[in-house]
Chains A and B, each alone.
Chain A
Amino acid sequence: MMALLAAVLLGAQEPPEIAGWIRDLGDDAIEVRERATVELVRVGRRAEPALREAVRRGGEAGGRAAQVLAEIAKAERTRLFEAAPSRITLRKKDASLRETLEDIQKQTGCKLTTSFAPEGEKITIAFENTPLFEAVDALCRACRRTTYSVENRREDVSVSIAEGKCPDWPRVFRDQYFVRLEGLSLSTVYDLQGGGASKCRLDFRWGWEKGTRPQQAVLRIEELVDDLGNSYVADLPDPAMRPVGFAYVTTQQPVEWTRVPPAGATRFAKIRGSLDLSFPETLLVFPFEKPEESAGTLRKTEGGSVRLVSCARDRTRLRAKIGVHPGELVGRLEMKALDPQGREYPGRYTRGEAGDGESVLLSVEFTLPESSEAASLQFSSPSGARPRRIPFEFKDVRIR
């Protein structure tokens, strides 16, 4: 009876097409099999029970179902660091800016603030599965008197709408990302003796939606030519690889070089390149239940280990010493204490010193309300590197 109830409940959660797609995994036509694979990965966890059942039944479809399950697991790990992009579907006719922003906020959960809401100005827009930044950009242009800025802070993002003409930045929107050329400058400083030093500079800015947390971002230019056919790629410095980190990943980058386009050049005919992001592949988690009684416990994963060396409570402070191996995990280690109700209290380092071999001994501290008990400590660190490339190509960028 219970099994039947469970099956009924599961069946109620599964999209009805799942059974058909699983059947299609055994189809003779490769196109049919591939389409079924894509759809099942997109459905994700809700397809897992049916896929496991298919694996149990075996056969060709069972083998492919196992592959789909592995793909889904990989996609789930990816979503830890790269949330699915918002898709906005909205039609408005003669609506106010504030009302339209509220609707976008409801659909995306993204914080949209505005210091300017022109009364009387009516907006007509139609979005169909439009990514967030593309929608905001189109909205500001539809409104004509508004512009916007985006600020990424850790995994959060805020979009501010303000009064002003929205610059016509060369820009690209891809899923949850945008890349734009925010400014450009050419300068020649004369030495007043018949010589001088020149500098060109392109200022790029990019951003991502809430829930997306790359650990590294670097912009690369692959093609840069003016309208006279002069190429400048060979003049560009190699983009510096920034250290991997989570606390702050840059969202802007100047590209500088020293050869100014000749006086006859009036535009860059093409600026092509990519924003290269790197995401962790997985999250290593090191949990310690009842930490005050768990001194000496070692938690080990494939990517490293954490040993709880000591842990003691002093009123609101819970102080612990941990050994982290390898030491390179320390830079990306996040930590929290959890009370029995699951409330989280973030921790901080107070001291670090070299431990045995490649390990590092860290003193950490958590502040909890006096009445709260620390049921567990959880240390986590992203691991691995998964690249993501956001290509862009800007044409006919005026320079004079």
Chain B
Amino acid sequence: MSGAVFFLVLVQAADPAADLLKREWAAVEEMARRPDLKSALQGLARSKDADLAWWAGAALAELEAREQAGKAWREPLRVTFTAKERGASEVFREILGFARPSPPPVDVIEEDRPVTVAFKETPYFQALDEVSLQAGVVLARGAGGRRQMVRADPSHGPRQYRSSFAVSTVQLARKTDVTFREDPDSQLHLQLLLRVDPTVRMVDTEGECVIVLARDDTGHSLLKEGSTPGVRIRSGEGEAALQLVLGLPPPEARRISLLRGTVSITLARKTEEIEFGNLGKAPEQVRESGGVKAVLKSIERSGDEIRVEIELSAKERLPWPDADNILLDDGEGRPFQRAGSSMSSSASGATYRLTFRDRDGVGEARRLQVSVVSETYPRKVFFELRDFVMR
């Protein structure tokens, strides 16, 4: 170890506050693996120095997430590979393969432009976004879990790829509304998107977003008193849409120079994978796993459609899965396409009525799989975005 490196390690160990302020995210990522620093970080997170409190909070959130996830902790997805002048759909599929061994097909709606990429330990969503920007396409969800490459201008603007999360800009708009009730009201509306690595499962609970700092390039604070950001969790897509309302900057401002905030979501710690086989032979089947009871009430074929009714129940309230977590296949892993679904739930249970449709190449319906989250833990995601251009 050289003298300089040895000195740096000593400084880091001795003064986490200085280290956080100097190395920011790099320090956060290192301290997240240091349970011995937990009490120090708790103290720093209450600091009157807002910058220090922010960075210590970010490190603490990462550290606590590792603790609370326990065995469910998944290292952030990183992508390493290169491609030269290869079709975007092929490159997309290769990236999707880092999240699951048999990635879904990527349908090309229009042109399949060639792209050149060199990823080395690149965050999963950063890799996907880079291909999107190069090819001028967005990767949309299609029927039956397939992906569609749709020609569109991908969103530009600041983005952050940290840990297992990506926070990106969807839209920034300046709006003035006059209703003739009060004085004209002008605001900045910012839409952000939080994406969660596919290896981590987000559940449908209420999320919360807090903006702690918003500043333009003239130094004005854009925080708007009394404004609570909206959070819409789309657990099926592993996304949360964030709607922020900020104060209007002065006319000379040209950009939002810094935005800091947190999003609180809920992640799965334990899931129960429930499987029904021999479909059609046993009209009503019951399974129990980890305190979750699942009853397959009926499965009926009508023409090219298969209608399924399932009831889930548990002693305590669980985040009942959405229809994406109920799969019907032919026993060989070839899934039927879901054509419709309805769900009703209460504190103790949920009832699902699903309609699946035949697909070419898929045999008889033989297996129904339901994935239920039985344990969760809270997760606070810190994000920091810079330089939103407003010209």
> Assuming the A-B contacts A190-B388, A190-B390, are A398 and B176 also in contact, with contact meaning beta carbons closer than 8 angstroms in the complex?
no
Q: Identify A400's interface contact among B158, B169, B186, CB under 8 A.
A: B186
Contact digits for B186-229, partner A, Cβ 8 Å, 1 yes 0 no: 10000000000000000000000000000000000000000000
Cβ contact within 8 Å between A183 and B173: no
> Assuming the A-B contacts A187-B174, A191-B156, A193-B156, are A169 and B180 also in contact, with contact meaning beta carbons closer than 8 angstroms in the complex?
yes
Which residues of A (163-199) have their CB < 8 Å from a CB of B? 165, 167-170, 181-196
Q: Identify B173's interface contact among A181, A190, A397, A398, CB under 8 A.
A: A190
Cβ contact within 8 Å between A398 and B183: yes
Any B CB within 8 A of the CB of A399: yes
Any A CB within 8 A of the CB of B181: yes
Which residues of B (166-187) have their CB < 8 Å from a CB of A? 169, 171-181, 183-184, 186
Any B CB within 8 A of the CB of A3: no
Nearest residue (CB) in B for A186 is B176
Any A CB within 8 A of the CB of B251: yes
Any A CB within 8 A of the CB of B315: no
Any B CB within 8 A of the CB of A263: yes
How far does the alpha carbon of A375 sit from the alpha carbon of B174 in the complex, in Å? 65
How far does the alpha carbon of A150 sit from the alpha carbon of B176 in the complex, in Å? 26
B177 to chain A, nearest CB (A): 5
Which residues does chain B contribute within 8 Å of A194, judged by CB atoms? 389, 391
Contact digits for B110-152, partner A, Cβ 8 Å, 1 yes 0 no: 0000000000000000000000000000000000000000000
Any A CB within 8 A of the CB of B290: no
Any A CB within 8 A of the CB of B333: no
Nearest residue (CB) in A for B189 is A187
Nearest residue (CB) in A for B179 is A183
Nearest residue (CB) in A for B169 is A192
How far does the alpha carbon of A187 sit from the alpha carbon of B178 in the complex, in Å? 12
Cβ contact within 8 Å between A185 and B389: no
Cβ contact within 8 Å between A400 and B391: no
Cβ contact within 8 Å between B180 and A183: yes
Cβ contact within 8 Å between A186 and B388: no
B276 to chain A, nearest CB (A): 48
Which residues does chain B contribute within 8 Å of A190, judged by CB atoms? 172-174, 388-391
Which residues does chain A contribute within 8 Å of B173, judged by CB atoms? 187-190
A145 to chain B, nearest CB (A): 13
How far does the alpha carbon of A269 sit from the alpha carbon of B186 in the complex, in Å? 19
Cβ contact within 8 Å between B181 and A185: no
How far does the alpha carbon of A263 sit from the alpha carbon of B175 in the complex, in Å? 12
B243 to chain A, nearest CB (A): 14
How far does the alpha carbon of A192 sit from the alpha carbon of B184 in the complex, in Å? 25
How far does the alpha carbon of A194 sit from the alpha carbon of B157 in the complex, in Å? 10
How far does the alpha carbon of A264 sit from the alpha carbon of B172 in the complex, in Å? 22
How far does the alpha carbon of A189 sit from the alpha carbon of B156 in the complex, in Å? 12
Report the contact-size class of chain B (Cβ under 8 Å from the partner): 20 to 34
Cβ contact within 8 Å between B172 and A189: yes
Nearest residue (CB) in B for A195 is B391
B359 to chain A, nearest CB (A): 39
Which residues does chain A contribute within 8 Å of B171, judged by CB atoms? 189
How far does the alpha carbon of A263 sit from the alpha carbon of B158 in the complex, in Å? 25
Contact digits for B62-89, partner A, Cβ 8 Å, 1 yes 0 no: 0000000000000000000000000000
Which residues of B (358-391) have their CB < 8 Å from a CB of A? 388-391
Of A169, A189, A195, chain B has the most CB atoms within 10 Å of the CB of A189
Cβ contact within 8 Å between A398 and B390: no
Cβ contact within 8 Å between B251 and A398: no
Nearest residue (CB) in A for B391 is A194
Which residues does chain B contribute within 8 Å of A263, judged by CB atoms? 251
Which residues does chain B contribute within 8 Å of A169, judged by CB atoms? 180
> Assuming the A-B contacts A165-B181, A398-B184, are A192 and B176 also in contact, with contact meaning beta carbons closer than 8 angstroms in the complex?
no
Q: Identify A399's interface contact among B156, B158, B176, B181, CB under 8 A.
A: B176
Cβ contact within 8 Å between B178 and A183: yes
Which residues does chain B contribute within 8 Å of A167, judged by CB atoms? 179-181
Which residues does chain A contribute within 8 Å of B155, judged by CB atoms? 192
Which residues does chain B contribute within 8 Å of A187, judged by CB atoms? 173-176
Nearest residue (CB) in B for A171 is B180
How far does the alpha carbon of A168 sit from the alpha carbon of B182 in the complex, in Å? 9
> Assuming the A-B contacts A192-B157, A194-B391, are A185 and B180 also in contact, with contact meaning beta carbons closer than 8 angstroms in the complex?
no
Nearest residue (CB) in A for B158 is A192
Which residues does chain B contribute within 8 Å of A191, judged by CB atoms? 156
Nearest residue (CB) in A for B171 is A189
A11 to chain B, nearest CB (A): 54
Nearest residue (CB) in B for A202 is B178
How far does the alpha carbon of A191 sit from the alpha carbon of B172 in the complex, in Å? 8
Which residues does chain B contribute within 8 Å of A193, judged by CB atoms? 156, 389
Which residues of A (374-400) have their CB < 8 Å from a CB of B? 397-400
Cβ contact within 8 Å between A192 and B178: no
How far does the alpha carbon of A21 sit from the alpha carbon of B177 in the complex, in Å? 56
Which residues does chain A contribute within 8 Å of B251, judged by CB atoms? 263-264
Cβ contact within 8 Å between B179 and A192: no
How far does the alpha carbon of A263 sit from the alpha carbon of B391 in the complex, in Å? 12
B181 to chain A, nearest CB (A): 5
How far does the alpha carbon of A196 sit from the alpha carbon of B388 in the complex, in Å? 12
B190 to chain A, nearest CB (A): 10
A162 to chain B, nearest CB (A): 13
How far does the alpha carbon of A96 sit from the alpha carbon of B390 in the complex, in Å? 53
Nearest residue (CB) in A for B252 is A263
A36 to chain B, nearest CB (A): 45
B258 to chain A, nearest CB (A): 15
Which residues does chain A contribute within 8 Å of B157, judged by CB atoms? 192
How far does the alpha carbon of A169 sit from the alpha carbon of B179 in the complex, in Å? 8
How far does the alpha carbon of A400 sit from the alpha carbon of B158 in the complex, in Å? 29
Cβ contact within 8 Å between B388 and A184: no
Q: Which residues of A contact B (CB under 8 A)?
A: 165, 167-170, 181-196, 263-264, 397-400
Q: Which residues of B contact A (CB under 8 A)?
A: 155-158, 169, 171-181, 183-184, 186, 251, 388-391
Q: List 8 A-B contacts (CB under 8 A).
A: A183-B178, A189-B171, A190-B174, A191-B156, A192-B172, A193-B389, A194-B391, A398-B184
Going nearest first, the 9 A-B pairs with the smallest beta carbon separation are A192-B157, A167-B180, A184-B178, A263-B251, A186-B176, A189-B173, A187-B175, A192-B156, A167-B181
Beyond the given A192-B155, A192-B389, A400-B176, could you list 6 further A-B residue pairs with CB under 8 A, ordered by the A residue number? Answer: A167-B179, A169-B180, A183-B179, A188-B174, A195-B391, A264-B251
